[in-house]
């Protein structure tokens, strides 16, 4: 069974982490996109809507779940 965590704390997210993000275009629907983190774009330690990341495929969104 995989344990998931919310993506509101920058310290929990590392390049190479498998995550579910919400893309800007999907914010109204809440549709999740799964991928591997390439870059962390949020500079602050926490963010109430999730840390913004760029996935390896180039998509950018806010982390909703960290998958392990």
Distance set, CA 14 to CA 22, 30, 31, 34, 59 (Å): 17, 23, 22, 15, 16
- For tokens 């760029």, the residue is 54
Residue 21 contacts residue 61 (beta carbons within 8 Å): yes
User: Does residue 3 register a pLDDT over 70?
Assistant: no
CATH number for the domain that contains residue 9: 2.30.30
Residue 60 contacts residue 53 (beta carbons within 8 Å): yes
Count of domains forming the chain = 1
pLDDT tens string 13-66: 999 999 999 999 999 999 999 999 999 999 999 999 999 999 999 999 999 999
* Residue 60 structural domain: 4-67
Strand, coil or helix: 33 = strand
């Amino acid at each position: 069974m995989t344990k998931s965590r919310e993506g509101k704390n920058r310290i929990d997210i590392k390049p190479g982490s498998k995550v579910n993000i919400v893309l800007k275009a999907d914010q109204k629907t809440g549709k999740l996109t799964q991928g591997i983190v390439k870059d962390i774009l949020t500079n602050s330690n926490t963010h109430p809507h999730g840390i913004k990341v760029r996935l390896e495929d180039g998509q950018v969104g806010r982390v909703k779940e960290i998958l392990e």
